[in-house]
């Protein structure tokens, strides 16, 4: 090419210009990718915080409902007198019809009387089982005083979750007689109030915390998959209706060799994962 021609100078100018444009495009694409990843990581953080907050607030709402029911029960003079005499048959006879109403009207599944030394005096729902320790639930409501109701969520051996709420039981002279507790199954409620926040959720438990026979029977009664070997170390105990089980293949729960769930891309799909431990 003639160095004095116009085409020569065009090449001299256009080649560096083209390289500069390509470099700018590459930088732009890298910046867009980093920004998207950063946004997804921020979304992951917000999802974790939102999940924690929504779950706790949902539990508190239900705990306050049980607190109100317990307050009414604690005013029953006949119940107070039977507990003061440590008359277990009388307490049971008085409580059974009340529990039937609580089950039918409010979904209450457990009612327990606890002694001052935190031993089970009577389980109305399971009267043959008593005498074991029942520690005070770890969350307090309405302040931190001894008079505040206390609550926590326990995992059950069949793979369920039960909200347990405790208040003091006093007689008419304000003498402390013991404690009253109500329990409510929270399996579907937890999924529902987490779902209202726009967060899809799976609930899993370590297999060591679950009795296989009870878990499989419960899953079948719900019409849910009961494959004990689906995950190596955990069992699925609940999931949002719009979440395919296949999503779990991207997580360490399906493959322990994988890192902690975070960001997954497959074709045009981007999934952000986070996890939150559930403590008894």
pLDDT tens readout for residues 233-277: 999 888 876 778 888 887 888 887 776 655 666 666 666 777 777
pTM for this structure?
0.72
pLDDT tens readout for residues 110-135: 999 999 999 999 999 999 999 999 99
Q: How many CB atoms lie within 10 A of CB 36?
A: 13
Query: CA–CA separation, 250 vs 32, rounded Å?
Result: 24
Exposed/middle/buried for 280, CB within 10 Å: 0-12, 13-18, 19+? exposed
Query: CA–CA separation, 188 vs 238, rounded Å?
Result: 7
Question: Dihedral sign, CA of 25, 29, 30, 32?
Answer: positive
pLDDT (0 to 100) of residue 46: 47
Q: What is the mean pLDDT of residues 64-80?
A: 95
Q: Which of helix, strand or coil describes residue 164?
A: strand
- CA angle (139, 140, 141) in 5-degree steps: 125
Q: How far apart are the first and last CA of the chain?
A: 81
Cβ–Cβ < 8 Å for 239, 225: no
């Amino acid at each position: 090419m003639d160095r004095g021609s116009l085409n020569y100078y065009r090449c001299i100018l256009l080649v560096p210009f083209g390289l500069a444009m390509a470099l700018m495009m590459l930088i732009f694409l890298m910046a867009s990718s980093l920004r998207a990843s950063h946004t997804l990581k921020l979304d992951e953080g917000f999802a974790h915080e939102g999940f924690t907050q929504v779950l706790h607030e949902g539990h508190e709402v239900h705990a306050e409902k049980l607190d109100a029911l317990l307050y009414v029960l604690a005013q029953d003079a006949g119940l107070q007198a039977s507990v003061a005499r440590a008359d277990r048959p009388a307490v049971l006879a008085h409580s059974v019809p009340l529990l039937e109403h609580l089950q039918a009207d409010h979904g209450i599944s457990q009612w327990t009387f606890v002694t001052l030394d935190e031993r089970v005096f009577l389980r109305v729902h399971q009267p043959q089982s008593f005498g074991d320790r029942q520690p005070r639930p770890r969350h307090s409501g309405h302040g931190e005083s001894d008079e505040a109701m206390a609550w926590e969520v326990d995992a059950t051996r069949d793979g369920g979750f039960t909200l347990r709420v405790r208040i003091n039981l006093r007689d008419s002279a304000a003498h402390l007689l013991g404690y009253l507790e109500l329990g409510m199954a929270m399996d579907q409620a937890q999924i529902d109030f987490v779902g209202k926040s726009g967060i899809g959720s799976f609930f899993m438990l370590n297999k060591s915390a679950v009795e296989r026979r009870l878990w499989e029977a419960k899953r079948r009664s719900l019409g849910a998959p009961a494959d004990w070997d689906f995950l190596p170390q955990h069992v699925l105990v609940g999931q949002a209706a719009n979440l395919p089980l296949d999503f779990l293949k991207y997580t360490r729960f399906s493959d322990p060799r994988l890192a902690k769930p975070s960001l997954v891309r497959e074709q045009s799909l981007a999934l952000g994962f986070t996890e939150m431990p559930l403590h008894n």
